[in-house]
Every structure is written in C-alpha cells, then in structure tokens.
Structure 1
Amino acid sequence: METLPLELHALIVEYACTDDGATARSLALVSRYVHDVATPFLFQSLAVSGLHQMTELVVRLEALPPRARRIRHLFLSDWTHKDVIKMQKQCAPTSFLEMERYDAERAFAGRILQHAAPTLETLALVVACPYTAPPLVGQLFALPLPRLQGLAIDGFYPFPHTRSVLPRLERLHLSGNRNPYGLLQLGALEAACPQLSYLRISGLDAAPAFARELHSALFPQPLSGGIELSSSFSFPSALPVRLRELRVEVCRPRECPVRQSHPTGRQRAHSQRAPHKSGHEKMMETLREVVRRRAETRLGNVEVVEGDREDTFGEMRREWLRGD
C-alpha cells in the first residue's frame, strides 16, 4: 500500500467498485486512509430496491453536494424482489394506503433518477407497480441523460420521443409492454437515441401489430407468402440508422385446458372452415419472415427467441451486474 501513489489506489478502487455498492462500503471500513480513497466511489455503482432503500438513498444524496453524487451504474426497482414475486400471483392492491405507498415509491425513484442523471452510464430500471411504470418511465425519458450508454427497462413503458434525450445510448432493452405498437413510428426512436446500435425488445405477447410494424421498418414492401400489412399503418416505421443488432423475445403462449364436450351441428360446421389464427400465430408468422429475410437488412444480427420469463427482476439484476 505504501509503495503506490494515491492516484493508483483510487484507480484500483474505481475498478473494484462495479458491483451493487457492497465493495465500496466494505473498503470504507478498512482504515481511515482507505475510507478517504473509497469515499468518492461510494455511489459509483448501486443496486436499490423498495421504498425503504430508496428513502435512505435520497436522504444521503440530498445531504451531499452535487459533485459528491457521482452515480455511474444504477439498478433501481420500486419494489423489492420479494414483493415482485409475491405480486406476480395477484393483482396490485388499490386501497388508499397502498396507493399512497405507490405515490411515495414513484416520487423517491424519480428523485434518485434526477440526482443520478448527469453522471449515469448504465441503468437497469424495474418498475413492477402497474400504476407507477408509465409516469416514472416517462419522467426518465424527459430527463437529460448525457452519459447514459446502456439502458434496460422492465415495466409498462411509454416510448422515448424527445430529440437527443439519450445522445450516447448504444444499448437499449425494453421489457414489459406486450404490444409496443408505435415504438418504431415517425423516427422517434432514432431522434431520441441517435447512437443506438443494439435493441432488445422482450415480453411480446400476441402482438401482431408490432410484428407488422417491425417488418415494415425492415422491409418497406408488402409481405410475402400472402401476409398482408394492415391498412392502419398511417405512419412510416423506421429503425435507428446506426442499429446493428436486434433481438426480439416472445412469450410462449400458455396452454389452456381443453374442455371435453359434444359439438353441436353449428360447431361442427365451424370447425370444418379454415382455422382461425390466434394473435400469437399471426405475430410469429411475421417474425419468422423477418428472420428468414434478415440477410436483406442492413443489420448484422436479427434474432427472434420464444420462451418464458419467470423472474424478470432477477434476470435484469444479473445482466446489470455483468454489464450486459
């Protein structure tokens, strides 16, 4: 320790403190000297979830001058992992006290984002409360984020549209909107994220309209194989100019139990007609054509993956820690 200058110690601590904040807090307890070296990096990388942790962080941040609030990497969730798993099995309660808590969660999360925005480089935002997600994500997209390069959002998100609000963003992962129809229209994504090179859209569920929108953005001609574009496409769709990788993740449809019954004459006649395609089938038909024709696009890689996402909170947190 004594043979290295202070600036090298600071550099070592900076590279070491890229987890959820535990390393910086532990280093600050080693000695007075190490505490002084680690102090500028106490907020460099943080994982915060739930109202209690958000409240504590806001109190600490607002007691510091702006120069001491340098948050570079942030995982932020309005609910704890335990609460997210619990609420997956039931609807969010809407009692007066619960709604007050949701408002408090949104307010504290918004204040954290506001404090972090000037220095933030990577952000994973999980908004599990359905009443909180649209306004909180909308607030995020209205903030100037001059340094943000990687963004992952899980929650019912609105679309970024403010011009150059994310001027350096290169990687974007959006999850939680089952049918994000409109995301690619009017060049809004290009305007908000001019440097975007990687786009991942997760959680699609019976979204034929978005699949057609994506197809229209990649191939501005009629679909082949008898697939027709809807006449409702009144606005042009386009992908960001610098985009090189696209990954679309689709929820596998859940199987419903089949009820055994004796069909009536009308039901037998109906069953002999051409089978009606479900929303999932229509979506997958269009997405499969996108994959088949990916060589015709300017993108280096186009993937469509079908699967189940049981624990989005845990997945988002792990990917954030890995720097994905």
Structure 2
Amino acid sequence: MDTLPVELITRISFLACTDGGLTACSLSRVCRFVRAAACPARYYSVSFDGASLLPLRSFLSVYQAEQAGKPRVHHLFISTFPLRGGELTPILHSPEEYTSEVGTLLRTVSAALETLTCIGFRRSIPDLVALGTVFPVLEELTICDMPNPHRLDLHVPDVSRPLFPALRMLHKWNRSIEPWWSAHAPGLTHIRISELLPHDFALGPLPDGSAYHCLKQLILQPRIRDLNVPFRAASFFWNSSSATDRVPLCILPLEQGAHRSTAQFKRCHRTSRRQWVARLEGQPGCWGLPVLDVNAKIPNVLEIVGWKDIVPY
C-alpha cells in the first residue's frame, strides 16, 4: 500500500466509507500514512443509532473543532432507535434536548449533505421547514416520525428561496406529502410513501399533485387493515385529467408481517438503514421495484383508499 499514490488511496477510501462511519474510524487507526490519505473521506457517511445524546455531542465537538478545509459530511443517517436491541420503541429521556442537538447537527452539516435519513419518535426529529436551514445539494431524503396523529399542514407558502433546491427523491413513512414540498423542493422527480396510514387516504396519492411538474415516479404502499384479498405490486397512471401529465404510479403491498403495528418503528428503522446503505453503494434501495403485474386487478384496494384519478398503465 505504501507504493500506491495518495490520490488513489483517497478515492478507495470514499468507496469504502459507506457504512455510517465504522470503516472511516478503522482506517484512521491503521497508520499515519493511511489516516492522512483517508482523511477526506473521514465523514463521508455518518450514522447515529439510538436516543443517546452523547454520540451527537461528541461528534459535534470534534467536527466543529476541525480546522479550515475539514472533510465534510455527505451522507447522514439519524434514528432514535438503537441499531441492536429488542425494544419496540426507543426510550427518550430528554426529547427536547435530543431534538435541539439534532437541529444543531443538521445546520452544521447542511452545506455538503447529499442524502439524509431521519427516523424519529414522538417528534424527536425537528421539522425541517421550521428549522429554516437551506440544504443546497441535498438530493435524497427519507423521513419518518411516528406515531404522528397530527393533521397535515395543507398550507402552501409563498417561497422565495426553497430549502431543498436540489432535492430529487423524497421518501416518507406513514404520512402523505405535505403540499409545501412542492414549494421547497420544486425539482422532485421521485416520491415514495411507505405504509401510508388510512386517515391520509382521502388526500389522494398527493395533495395538489399538479404542482409537481418534474415528477416521474410515484410509489405508494397503503397500510390497509383487515384486507382479505392479497395483491401483487401493480402499475398505473395517476392524474388522468391530462394525458400529458400522467405520472407512473406503482402500488405496493405491505411486506410480510408488516400488519403488526407494534413492530412498525423497529421495522422502519432497520429497513430505512438498509436502504440508505444500499443507495450509498449504488443500489436502487427503496426505489427498486418488484416485477410489476400490468394486468393485476386490485379493485378492493382502490375502493378502500378511494383514489379515483388512477387509470391502467
């Protein structure tokens, strides 16, 4: 390895450091030469699993103390659920402090962040719009905050400066997409809603969907209780009012065992983390679709959710 150019080792380090920080920490302890060569990739991907404040504060202390030209965080995963453990819900001893520290972290790393996954519990993750921070290069975002019984804010603000100008892919768990996303992320091309709760069915696939002019793919996974007839993934067109504005829509069934609501948070955490790592490694992640059944007939599902602006693909 001593004979390899430093630039090559640095490039290899970026390809290797896609696991949330473990590989980067290991490389920094090999030797001084490798530590220096891998330094630009030290914070390439960073993950926080669990509701403890100590890792957040320790990282911020080290990161903010770095000199000018420090390596940046490009991919961030935050979850209040521990990576290992049998708990069905996380234990938050100081939810307000945790939310505040997460907000500080997001503001600190926002400039270079390209992908972000936030898995919260009882509003432990700050509202990204209320945070007021611009994420200039963020391209992919996954959000989950449960349980979240509050009604969606259907107000569309007049935005002069979008908070997510580069965002292309938005993945939400449990809730529909708030209309203000069309103002703060005008370039969205892919939207996925996993395990959409029944009280949001009335909003349709997207509230005010005509505002998403760049949309190319919509993936929905409705959470339907007591559905007697199982169905396969099927493809449709949505927004049939105009043939030129039709968007490919894929309706996915819940995964096996997903009807058990008690394990929903744990499943969301593990699935999202696996998909986040897959995206860093160049795989489809949550955007990968199963083999679609073009001729699938799922009238029971469409009748239950009440979506009328859907036509065969």
Q: Same fold (TM over 0.5)?
A: yes
Higher helix share: 1
1:61-100 maps to which residues of 2 (within 5 A)? 61-65=63-67, 67-81=69-83, 85-87=87-89, 98=93
Report how many aligned residue pairs link the two structures: 256
- The structure that has the greater radius of gyration is 1
The alignment partner of 1:196 has SS state of coil
1:205-245 deviations in whole A, cap 9, x for unaligned? 2233212x73xx6xxxxxxxxxxxxxxxxxx5524111100
1:59-102 deviations in whole A, cap 9, x for unaligned? 222222464250001111134245794328xxx78xxxx4xx10
User: In structure 2, what is the equivalent of residue 198 of structure 1?
Assistant: 190
Output the amino acid matched with 1:71: V
| Distance of aligned partners of 1:288 and 1:34 in 2 relative to their CA distance in 1, 3 Å threshold | closer
- Asked if 1:247 is matched to 2:219, the reply is yes
The alignment partner of 1:164 has SS state of coil
TM superposition shift of 1:34: 0.2
TM superposition shift of 1:2: 3.8
* Inter-partner Cα distance in structure 2 for 1:19 and 1:294: 44
TM superposition shift of 1:41: 1.6
Unaligned runs of 5+ in 2: 228-233, 259-263, 280-284, 286-313
User: In structure 1, what is the equivalent of residue 138 of structure 2?
Assistant: 148
* Inter-partner Cα distance in structure 2 for 1:297 and 1:38: 49
- Asked if 1:30 is matched to 2:2, the reply is no
| Aligned sequence identity (%) | 24
TM superposition shift of 1:314: 0.3
CA RMSD in angstroms comes to 3.3
Output the amino acid matched with 2:64: E
| Structure-1-length-normalised TM-score | 0.68
| Distance of aligned partners of 1:173 and 1:84 in 2 relative to their CA distance in 1, 3 Å threshold | farther
TM superposition shift of 1:198: 0.3
| Distance of aligned partners of 1:23 and 1:253 in 2 relative to their CA distance in 1, 3 Å threshold | same
- Asked if 1:125 is matched to 2:115, the reply is no
Output the amino acid matched with 1:40: P
| Distance of aligned partners of 1:13 and 1:136 in 2 relative to their CA distance in 1, 3 Å threshold | same
The alignment partner of 2:194 has SS state of strand
| Distance of aligned partners of 1:4 and 1:241 in 2 relative to their CA distance in 1, 3 Å threshold | same
TM superposition shift of 1:288: 10
Unaligned runs of 5+ in 1: 218-235, 256-286
| Distance of aligned partners of 1:103 and 1:16 in 2 relative to their CA distance in 1, 3 Å threshold | same
Output the amino acid matched with 1:168: A
* Inter-partner Cα distance in structure 1 for 2:48 and 2:25: 14
| Structure-2-length-normalised TM-score | 0.71
* Inter-partner Cα distance in structure 2 for 1:294 and 1:7: 54
Output the amino acid matched with 1:30: V
User: In structure 2, what is the equivalent of residue 317 of structure 1?
Assistant: 273
User: In structure 2, what is the equivalent of residue 260 of structure 1?
Assistant: none
Output the amino acid matched with 1:251: R
* Inter-partner Cα distance in structure 2 for 1:36 and 1:288: 50
User: In structure 2, what is the equivalent of residue 302 of structure 1?
Assistant: 249
User: In structure 2, what is the equivalent of residue 175 of structure 1?
Assistant: 173
* Inter-partner Cα distance in structure 1 for 2:86 and 2:130: 22
1:238-261 deviations in whole A, cap 9, x for unaligned? 241111000111113158xxxxxx
